[in-house]
């Protein structure tokens, strides 16, 4: 998929800024373009661990929450921490339970079941907690929207809400509502995850009860913070920078076991390890099992139990991957009869698809097609549970709001949301949602964007540059890993690598200074690398092997260079169609991908780029002269073909 570069401007101030900071112009330019434009701001950003935490009592209602918890501890009342089934909720629950026990509390925890109870408070659970003898409930990472449930428990159970989600028009009538997003909350950092808010509560408790500055357990806080994809700025940056260093040698047996079972060999972990190795294993518990397992893992002090629970989560994650692939294949099958190229949005539904996995499937479909996507699971009770993922340009929550006459309930934010629709309303909802997307999005919105810091040839990469870029870590939301671009280069010596032959390695740079490039999960580009002039977006990295260090490019995307982006004229389309017809007559014919078709066409003596071939294939699809198998990403020609009326193709008309 062709990605449009969003090339950052070269800041004229970068030269002076670099001298002031004592860094290279490249780093100064990156900082400037990320809004870090003073020496003071740069020092805070580049040395986050040296910065002090804000006073927790600046958070509205923190004093009320602390007073009531201390009263419960002194009175030996039973306290229940009510969490959520995602990693943020699990880590927040772990953190608060661990610290309340250390402070002498009689404390337990409750995590709702994703499928049976759903997100946040539910009245039967609150009633059961009160009946079991609890006097105080403290929520973490949830509760801000549970106005009616909290009101219903008045006089039966004292409730403190700590959350980081946006409040509605009315706050729940709890004893205390600790949330930096409250309009009347003066706390300066609004970006904390749910576990971050729980951490501030722990800080306040230790300060009030023992006069201690609490800054322990940051590996737990960092795990939830990274997993929840909140901006890694301010206190989050300080938390994650310190927490990552503690994960491998954590005092939590469960954390150590989780790192071990995730097969992370690097001595020091980074946000990528957390996001793609640790978090998915914890999340698997909440998606296809019980999130209690995740909290039990992180809380246990027993090494053997930690190892056993970590292995169980690892197996659950493997099951989750299998279920995900099965649902993805079924979703692709649902799209077989659709002209996906011209769909304003994707909406698919299947019987009893696992509700805990459909959000991941929606993300996979957005990655492939770059269209707003909703995946529904049709339940036995006639309700379809959906998970939504959007693209830049469509605010998902607002889009759902515009279709709310067809929706039972919904919630979320700009890029992700969840909803429930009666099966009888599903068709009407799909049409309404497509209409909203079509009215909102322009053709340019359907082109994915990639932010490029600057143009940099691979041969210009140095070890010093990479070491300096490391000062920007930890990377995450609002502070992505810097990507660089290079135009009009040729790759050489492509090799397919990996256990399943899914990855691609090739050489770029000059003959005097060749650099290895690695492109994950795109081995199908091997033939293209040999034949086309390309533009490449990459992050520079260092490969260390048997004591040797070498420079390499980790490829984000490649695209045909401008000279290869040629729209196929009528004569070329005729040639492509004849070629397709000829290869289909072969006795050993098997369906081809666009990449394979491009390489084979070029072998017959006429150069064509993947860009040109892909446009030709799209035109033939629009004319019903070609069919694509979405699951296999391969093309078939129908046996009967009619006259080629190119003007009937929207793509051809737009470019004519």
User: Domain extents for the chain?
Assistant: 4-46+450-563, 56-246, 335-446, 566-655
- Per-residue pLDDT band for 76 (boundaries 50, 70, 90) equals very high
Instruction: Round to whole Å and give the CA distance between 243 and 250.
Output: 9
Model confidence at 499: pLDDT above 90: no
Neighbouring-strand partners of residue 559: 535
Question: Which pLDDT tens digit goes with each residue over 396-431?
Answer: 989 999 999 999 988 877 888 889 999 999 999 999
Exposure on the CB side of residue 541, measured as CA atoms within 13 A? 15
Average pLDDT on 230-241 reads 95
Measuring CA to CA, how many Å separate 109 from each of 79, 91, 211, 288?
8, 12, 26, 20
Model confidence at 531: pLDDT above 90: no
Question: Which pLDDT tens digit goes with each residue over 162-175?
Answer: 999 888 889 999 99
Average pLDDT on 210-215 reads 95
Question: Which pLDDT tens digit goes with each residue over 558-606?
Answer: 999 999 999 999 999 999 988 988 888 877 777 788 888 998 999 888 8
Please, which residues have CB within 8 angstroms of residue 423's CB and are 6 or more apart in sequence? 378, 382, 383, 384
CATH number belonging to the domain at 4-46+450-563, selected among 3.40.50.2300, 3.40.50.2020, 1.10.540.10, 2.40.50.460: 2.40.50.460
Model confidence at 544: pLDDT above 60: yes
Instruction: Round to whole Å and give the CA distance between 178 and 586.
Output: 69
Question: Which pLDDT tens digit goes with each residue over 275-284?
Answer: 999 999 999 9
Tell whether domain 335-446 is in CATH 3.10.310.30: yes
Question: Which pLDDT tens digit goes with each residue over 242-260?
Answer: 999 999 999 999 999 999 9
Kindly state the tokens that stand for 40: 């003071």
The top-level CATH class assigned to 566-655 is mainly alpha
Please give the mean pLDDT across all residues of the chain: 92
The 3-state secondary structure of 489-517, one letter per residue: ECCEEEEEECCCCCEEEEEEECCCCEEEE
Measuring CA to CA, how many Å separate 265 from each of 73, 260, 311, 427, 499?
42, 9, 17, 49, 18
Model confidence at 641: pLDDT above 70: no
Task: List, in sequence order, the alpha helices (H) in 218-275.
Answer: 218-227, 234-246, 253-261, 271-273
Asked whether 281 and 314 are in contact (CB, 8 A), the reply is: yes
Measuring CA to CA, how many Å separate 557 from each of 68, 437, 538?
54, 26, 7
How many C-beta atoms surround the C-beta of residue 52 within 10 A? 9
Asked whether 419 and 409 are in contact (CB, 8 A), the reply is: yes
Crossing angle for the helix pair 610-622 and 594-603, to the nearest 10 degrees:
120
Question: Which pLDDT tens digit goes with each residue over 607-636?
Answer: 999 999 989 998 888 888 887 776 666 777
Top pLDDT among 623 and 314 is at 314
Residue 397 backbone dihedrals phi, psi, to 5 degrees: -60, -45
3-state secondary structure of 524: helix
Nearest of 262, 263, 318 to residue 287 by alpha carbon: 318
Tell whether domain 56-246 is in CATH 3.30.70.20: no
Which helix (H) or strand (E) is 599 found in, with range?
helix 594-603
Nearest of 152, 17, 138 to residue 81 by alpha carbon: 138
């Amino acid at each position: 998929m062709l990605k449009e570069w969003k090339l950052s401007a070269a800041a004229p101030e970068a030269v002076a800024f670099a001298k002031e900071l004592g860094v290279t112009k490249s780093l100064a330019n990156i900082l400037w373009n990320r809004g870090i434009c003073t020496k003071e701001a740069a020092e805070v950003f580049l040395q986050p661990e040296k910065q002090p935490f804000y006073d927790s009592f600046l958070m509205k209602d923190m004093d009320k929450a602390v007073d009531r918890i201390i009263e419960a501890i002194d009175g030996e009342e039973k306290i229940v921490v009510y969490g959520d089934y995602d990693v943020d909720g699990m880590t927040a629950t772990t953190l608060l339970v661990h610290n309340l026990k250390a402070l002498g509390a009689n404390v337990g925890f409750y995590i709702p079941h994703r499928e049976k109870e759903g997100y946040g408070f539910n009245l039967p659970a609150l009633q059961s907690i009160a009946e079991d003898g609890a006097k105080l409930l403290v929520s973490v990472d949830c509760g801000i929207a549970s106005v009616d449930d909290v009101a219903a428990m008045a006089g039966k159970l004292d409730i403190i809400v700590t959350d980081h989600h946006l409040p509605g028009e009315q706050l729940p009538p709890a004893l205390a509502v600790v949330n930096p997003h409250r309009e009347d909350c003066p706390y300066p950092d609004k970006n904390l995850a749910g576990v971050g808010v729980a951490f501030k509560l722990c800080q306040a408790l230790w300060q009030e009860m023992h006069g201690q500055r609490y800054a322990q357990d940051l590996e737990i806080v960092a795990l939830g913070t990274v997993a929840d994809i909140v901006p890694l700025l301010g206190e989050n940056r300080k938390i994650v920078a310190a927490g990552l260093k503690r994960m491998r040698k954590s005092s939590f047996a469960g954390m150590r076991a989780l790192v071990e079972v995730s097969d992370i060999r690097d001595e020091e972990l980074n946000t990528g390890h957390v996001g793609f190795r640790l978090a998915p294993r914890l999340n698997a518990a909440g998606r296809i099992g019980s999130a209690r397992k995740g909290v039990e893992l992180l809380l246990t002090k027993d090494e053997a139990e930690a190892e056993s629970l970590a292995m169980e989560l690892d197996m659950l994650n493997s099951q989750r991957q299998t279920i995900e692939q099965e649902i993805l294949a079924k979703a692709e099958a649902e799209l077989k009869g659709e002209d996906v190229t011209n769909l304003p949005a994707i909406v698919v539904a299947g019987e009893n698809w696992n509700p805990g996995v459909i959000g991941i499937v929606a993300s996979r479909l957005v990655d492939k097609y770059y269209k707003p996507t909703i995946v529904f699971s049709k339940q036995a009770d006639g309700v379809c549970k959906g998970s939504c993922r959007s693209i830049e340009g469509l605010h998902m929550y607002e889009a759902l709001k515009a279709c709310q006459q067809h929706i039972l309930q919904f919630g979320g934010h700009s890029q992700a949301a969840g909803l429930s629709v009666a099966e009888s309303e599903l068709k009407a909802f799909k049409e309404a949602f497509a209409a909203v997307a079509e009215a909102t999005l322009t053709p340019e919105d359907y082109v994915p964007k990639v932010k490029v810091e600057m143009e940099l040839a691979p041969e210009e990469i140095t070890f010093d540059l990479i070491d300096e870029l490391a000062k920007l870590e930890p990377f995450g939301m609002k502070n992505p890993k810097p990507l660089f671009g290079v135009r009009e280069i040729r790759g050489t010596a492509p090799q397919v690598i990996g256990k399943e032959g899914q990855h691609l390695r090739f050489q770029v740079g000059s003959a005097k200074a060749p650099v290895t490039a690695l492109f994950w999960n795109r081995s199908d580009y091997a033939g293209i690398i040999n034949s086309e002039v390309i533009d490449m977006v990459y992050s520079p990295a260092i490969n260390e092997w048997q004591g040797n260090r070498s420079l390499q490019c980790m490829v984000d995307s490649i695209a045909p260079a401008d000279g290869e982006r040629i729209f196929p004229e009528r004569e070329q389309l005729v040639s492509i169609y004849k070629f397709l017809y000829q290869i289909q007559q072969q006795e050993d014919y098997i369906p081809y991908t666009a990449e394979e078709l491009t390489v084979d066409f070029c072998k017959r003596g006429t150069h064509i780029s993947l860009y040109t071939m892909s446009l030709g294939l799209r035109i033939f699809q629009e004319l019903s002269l070609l069919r694509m198998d979405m699951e296999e990403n391969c093309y078939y020609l129908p046996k009967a073909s009619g006259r080629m009326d190119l003007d009937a193709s929207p793509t051809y008309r737009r470019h004519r």
